[in-house]
Amino acid sequence: MRNGKLFDVLIVGAGPAGSSAARAAAEAGAEVLVVEKRRQIGEPVRCAEYVPRLLAQTVKIPPEAIAQEIRGMITFLPGGEQIRKAAPGFILNRAKFDRALAGAAEKAGAEILTGTKAISREGDRVRIKGPSGDGEVRASVVIGADGPHSVVGSWIGQNNRKFLWAIQHTVELKEPAHDTKVYLGKEYPGGYAWLFPKGRLANVGVGIQMALGGPVKQALKTFKERLGDRIGEVVGVTTGYIPAGGPLPSIDEDARIILVGDAAGQTHAIRGGGIPQAVICGAMAGRAAAVSAGGDTQAFKDYLHQWRNAFGSVLDKAAEKRMELEEEWNGGDPVELLRRCWVACREYYNDS
Ligand SMILES: Cc1cc2nc3c(=O)[nH]c(=O)nc-3n(C[C@H](O)[C@H](O)[C@H](O)COP(=O)(O)OP(=O)(O)OC[C@H]3O[C@@H](n4cnc5c(N)ncnc54)[C@H](O)[C@@H]3O)c2cc1C
């Protein structure tokens, strides 16, 4: 425990957003503490693990964190139509990816306490609970990078309210594949099913919007039946929440709090992807926090402008499409609605 010690920047969560923020803040000269409630960074993995190839231009992805390369995405619409899109990218070994980011943050000078949970906050004092009991640290700026149900967000009344609920099996894959596959239809209410190849394995999952139907377990069973003998033994199971309500305000200058990644709702509300935003916005948040701890009063607004310039319009549009999907789910023509709202369909881009 670092009882009572004052840090420039305290970061809650060592996922992609928190570790990227920690690295940037430390490189900018700040004294940085990260608290991560998991004992082992990156585990258990709650992710289908796809990232676009372009991410490798922003952050070094070590070879051991890449499970396989991906060429494209095939979307299966109800009625049998298929849409193919180029989508060059990687299926990650997500745990190794998260640990590489955390390692880079430590190398830059950030201190990371694992098995340590942020509990509450009063003024600049944050209560933490770790392996050796309760303690308290002080911080000039707090970054909430603590995922979909952010405790830091709750300190400033900024919480995600809409989610996709997902369940995924990692299974044996009988034939190698080079595309991700996405399946749309009424059987996946408000969401979709996916098969993402990972070498001799595949991540096979379903995410649905719970307000529109369920249970998700049944939807996964139906999907696996559809895949038939293309898949084999289950070697891993994961579940998780994906924020789907669009971006939150993400800063509170009076409270000296910044939110980033899933905690800030920076996840794509239709597709559910959030790793690139977490990494890129994480670095922006870390730099802003370091500058702000040094006394610059503009830094919080600069962070907001920067990440909105990079992702604001795409994420806002996805949130609008999610509303459309939600409002019209129980009426009308599902194919037409899915065409209008799903990212791989031309209609999605028509009014952009
Ligand atoms: C089933 C599923 C499949 C997905 N597939 C993809 C995909 O293929 N591609 C993609 O880009 N995105 C995908 N996503 C979304 C992606 O996983 C997230 O957008 C991404 O992890 C966000 O990173 P983050 O750092 O903001 O949050 P997280 O990765 O959730 O990290 C938050 C960290 O904060 C820690 N924490 C939480 N509370 C506290 C606390 N009080 N104190 C200390 N630590 C705390 C957690 O333990 C965690 O390590 C998927 C999500 C799910 C659920």
What domains appear along the chain, each with residue ranges and CATH number? 6-328 (3.50.50.60)
Q: Is 238 exposed, middle or buried (0-12, 13-18, 19+ CB in 10 A)?
A: middle
- pLDDT, position 2: 66
Please indicate whether residue 88 or residue 2 has the higher confidence score (pLDDT).
88
- pLDDT, position 350: 61
- pLDDT, position 349: 64
**H or E element: which one contains 170?**
strand 163-173
For 213-272, what is each residue's pLDDT tens digit?
Answer: 878 999 999 999 999 999 999 999 999 999 999 999 999 999 999 999 999 999 999 999
User: How far away, in angstroms, is 161 Cα from ligand 1 center?
Assistant: 16
Q: How far is CA 210 from CA 213, 267, 321, 347, in A?
A: 5, 17, 17, 25
Inter-residue contact 286 to 40 (CB < 8 Å): no
- pLDDT, position 352: 43
Average pLDDT, the chain: 95
Query: For ligand 1, what atom is nearest to the CA of residue 17?
Result: 25
22 within ligand 1 shell (Cβ under 6 A)? no
pLDDT tier at 304 (50, 70, 90 boundaries)?
very high
Average pLDDT of the segment spanning 109-122: 97
User: How far away, in angstroms, is 351 Cα from ligand 1 center?
Assistant: 31
Token pair listed for 209: 């919007």
Which residues, in sequence order, are CB contacts of 344 under 8 Å at separation 6+? Answer: 73, 75, 83, 85, 182
For 305-330, what is each residue's pLDDT tens digit?
Answer: 999 999 999 999 999 999 999 999 98
45 within ligand 1 shell (Cβ under 6 A)? no
Q: How many other β-carbons are positioned within 10 Å of the β-carbon of residue 221?
A: 13
Asked if the peptide bond before residue 215 counts as cis, ω within 30 degrees of 0, the response is yes
206 within ligand 1 shell (Cβ under 6 A)? no
User: How crowded is the C-beta side of 257, counted as CA atoms within 13 Å?
Assistant: 27
pLDDT tier at 334 (50, 70, 90 boundaries)?
confident
**Residue of the CA atom closest to atom 17 of ligand 1:** 47
**Residue of the CA atom closest to atom 2 of ligand 1:** 47
Query: Picking from 148-162, 226-240, 289-303, 321-335, which range would have the lowest pLDDT averaged per residue?
Result: 321-335
- pLDDT, position 343: 80
CA dihedral of residues 318, 247, 29, 10 (deg, nearest 10): -130
Pairing of strands 133-144, 6-12: parallel
User: How far away, in angstroms, is 68 Cα from ligand 1 center?
Assistant: 21
Q: Distance (Å, rounded) from C-alpha 263 to C-alpha 54?
A: 23
38 within ligand 1 shell (Cβ under 6 A)? yes
Q: Ligand 1: which of 20, 34, 37 to mutate, judged by most atoms within 8 Å of the beta carbon? A: 37
Query: For ligand 1, what atom is nearest to the CA of residue 168?
Result: 1
- pLDDT, position 1: 57
Q: Distance (Å, rounded) from C-alpha 185 to C-alpha 124?
A: 48
pLDDT tier at 346 (50, 70, 90 boundaries)?
confident
167 within ligand 1 shell (Cβ under 6 A)? no
3-state DSSP call for residue 154? helix
**Residue of the CA atom closest to atom 49 of ligand 1:** 15
205 within ligand 1 shell (Cβ under 6 A)? yes
User: How far away, in angstroms, is 15 Cα from ligand 1 center?
Assistant: 6
Query: For ligand 1, what atom is nearest to the CA of residue 150?
Result: 38
Q: Is 290 exposed, middle or buried (0-12, 13-18, 19+ CB in 10 A)?
A: buried
Average pLDDT of the segment spanning 73-81: 93
Q: What angle do CA 225, 270, 223 make, to 5 degrees?
A: 0
> Dihedral sign, CA of 294, 296, 301, 302?
negative
Which of 308, 31, 43, 18 lies closest to 151 in space, CA to CA?
Answer: 18
Q: Distance (Å, rounded) from C-alpha 206 to C-alpha 194?
A: 6
261 within ligand 1 shell (Cβ under 6 A)? yes
User: How far away, in angstroms, is 331 Cα from ligand 1 center?
Assistant: 33
Token pair listed for 137: 């640290």
Query: Picking from 186-190, 194-198, 199-203, 346-350, which range would have the lowest pLDDT averaged per residue?
Result: 346-350
- For residue 196, is pLDDT > 50? yes
